[in-house]
Structure 1
């Protein structure tokens, strides 16, 4: 067994379409072990599917980033941490439960399906704009960013004209290489933006999710102004950043697997299982399953003590050979709905129904209307987001 506590983490991807090679070695040799983070903190790494699910289902772990044992990759100055109000992703019950209850009705399957016609219109408009231009076209700019940005902005009641502002700031927030001062400034600017927006919704509510939350909160008193600001922030950032990256990577994944793509083109009803397999295959939010232990727990025969940080590597769990035979192969017949791309347990992604619907509509529409779509550059020349907390592509030139 190799002790990897002093090895550099996070590990780089040697193949852009695969998780880091170290993950497979860890699953086989040391499925639970410690690493040292760039912040100087140590954390346990969990690499097997069953262990990660056990962690995320445990009532003895916390998502509180302010806890001194939380596995932060970079140090947040104490004065900044004091100003930061926790959002749902960093909350524990019962506060987390109350806030999640406010939002869940907005993202049920029934409510999300009501958005299908408008999402289809948005995708059709963006694909038509692609076809009207001259190739090669950057798929990230033309489709991957614009579709979820438009959908999320309309859903929340955020002016789409402000998309460049929040995309720039969210990129700084999720980049592990960003200057700490730039990251803190981006956080403050987003906070100020949403503070103004929440105030505006309270004064003149519209037919949008954020207005409904403000109105509902007047009845329940669950949140104060700062709580509503944090809720708006996490919904907007979570609503477009991950979906945008999955659109570009999903298209690339299908182009690299023409047999699987052909089946989707022949039978669009396969879209839900295509999306689930692509989510498993890429696992772009690898470390959102970070936790700190509040009471001693045992996972896989290893005692993890209260106060210690733990990172459940979802990309490793989603490529666990014990659950997904030949995990590096894209297989839409896999039926892998137990994947960890949306997390597990009480913090499982609220917006997963919306994200899946957007992806289904994008993939079926794009390849139906542009059946000859192809990459305009080889995979090894594409600029991947290797230094980002959410994996994806900076640019993806395509032609047809």
Structure 2
């Protein structure tokens, strides 16, 4: 009885810290302070997840790159020790080839690589420029303030990935709403599973149509792999689902969050607005990717053989989590890392990962961001936040960080 009244016993002094850590409300662009503390203490630290498991958290740049490039570090969620779930309600399941190892990972990835090659992506730049200009025209002609997320940030990558895949943009509300449920941390497994199944069924039907009547799009290319016996219909659907979600959700968040960061750093915004140099625009994109990295639950892996790194032995069967947002703030690689500086050479960032699993769509994301950041602030030079920063609702409740709404005026 006395023990009950006294409350739970205090944690042991050496107990592993819980992960993920909360952000500081007054610093919405920065990693959680606890992550920075851990980085200063050591490159690898055991952390405790919601289920009591204790994988290694890797906080420094060099160690993250080394592990991401090591064939003994597996992306397969079925491996022993893989820190699968981000939360009790995160659900299970693989997201196509990104959660597989070679050779199957490489085999499936090669099937969809061609449209994301740099030359192919650059050929799309004029079309993306037209989309961006058209949406800015609509904003300028409409009422103020306007939500930049719904009016601008979300439509751009959605239109582009729909065109690439061959998904009708008229259905964007359907897949955008379901995607929001899939990445919402507070959604139940049932809600997340239902949303995933609905989008998968929709894409499976589209692939079925392409099997009968091919067109000049990526879904038709994927369908041809079914006909050739290289994949089955389910694998094709999983592949299309990955491309659709990754193709619009991540870039949309970077557009809105990057704009907000620039509005809060007016000197940097002025440099970008006044430049005519494509090199500086490209540099701004890389720096914003480094400064804001939007996936904050880490790249999760399982170790298949003992690895010695940074004076530690990571044993076979242990999990590792590499949080890129803190690696991108490593002062050994990026001096004064908490300062936004669009003139910095930030190309070494790990926002897109490293090694064989680095983001397939990074050339497309870079090009879209270059067009956006190189156009929006020139065409609306007086763009400003239409509320206090404290009133902006950040996506602390989602697996992909950003803002739910961004009211702006001019």
Matches within 5 A, 1:1-400: 5-14=15-24, 15-71=27-83, 72-74=85-87, 84=93, 87-216=96-225, 218-219=227-228, 221-268=229-276, 269=278, 270-400=280-410
Task: Indicate conservation of the 8 Å contact 1:85/1:226, yes or no.
Answer: no
Larger deviation, residues 6-15 vs 104-113: 6-15
* Aligned partner of residue 113 in structure 2, secondary structure: helix
Deviation at residue 105 of structure 1 after TM alignment: 1.3
* Separation in structure 2 between the aligned mates of residue 284 and residue 275 of structure 1, nearest angstrom: 14
SS in 2 for 1:103: coil
Where does structure 1 lack aligned partners over 5 or more consecutive residues?
none
Q: 1:4 to 1:375 in 2, by over 3 A?
A: farther
- Is residue 318–residue 340 contact of structure 1 (8 Å, CA) maintained in 2? yes
Work out the number of aligned pairs and report it. 394
User: Cα deviations across residues 128-152 of structure 1 (Å, max 9, x unaligned)?
Assistant: 1111111110001110111111111
Gaps of 5+ in 2: 1-11
- TM-score (norm: length of structure 1): 0.94
Q: Which has the larger radius of gyration?
A: 2
Q: Take 1:307 and 1:40, find their aligned partners in 2: how far apart are those partners?
A: 16
Give yes or no for contact 1:135–1:399 (8 Å, CA) kept in 2.
yes
Q: Over residues 261-312 of structure 1, what are the superposed CA-to-partner deviations in whole Å (9 max), with x where a residue is unaligned?
A: 2221222421110000000000111335111111111221111111111100
Q: Distance in 2 between matches of 1:227 and 1:53?
A: 30
Asked whether the equivalents of residues 48 and 317 of structure 1 are also in contact (C-alpha less than 8 Å), the reply is yes
Q: Deviations over 1:24-64 (max 9, x none)?
A: 11111133111111233321100000011111001001111
Shift of 1:224: 1.4
Deviates more, 1:204-213 or 1:353-362: 204-213
TM-score after normalising by structure 2: 0.92
SS at match of 1:42: coil
Matches of 2:358 and 2:16 in 1, distance apart? Answer: 31
The 2-side partners of 1:323 and 1:356 are apart by 21
Asked if the contact 1:174/1:388 (under 8 Å) is kept, the reply is yes
In the alignment, the residues of structure 2 paired with residue 86 and residue 274 of structure 1 have an alpha-carbon distance, to the nearest angstrom, of 31
Q: Kindly tell me: are residues 3 and 225 of structure 1, through their superposed partners in 2, closer, same or farther at Cα, counting changes over 3 Å?
A: farther
CA contact (8 A) 2:307 2:314 kept: yes
Cα distance in 2 for partners of 1:42, 1:5 equals 10
Q: 1:173, 1:67 → 2: CA distance?
A: 24
Seen in structure 2, the aligned counterparts of structure 1 residues 308 and 76 have a Cα distance that, compared at 3 Å, is farther
Between the aligned partners of 2:127 and 2:298, the Cα distance in structure 1 is 30
Helix, strand or coil: the match of 1:398?
strand
Structure 1 residue 236: Cα displacement: 0.5
Whole-angstrom CA distance in 2 between matches of 1:307 and 1:164: 42
Please report the RMSD computed on the Cα atoms of aligned residues, expressed in angstroms: 1.8
Query: Closer, same or farther in 2 for the Cα pair 1:26/1:3, shift >3 Å?
Result: farther
Does the CA contact (< 8 Å) of 1:3 and 1:33 recur in 2?
Answer: no
Deviation at 1:343, TM superposition (A): 0.4
Distance 1:76 1:393 in 2: 22
Q: CA deviation at 1:214?
A: 2.0
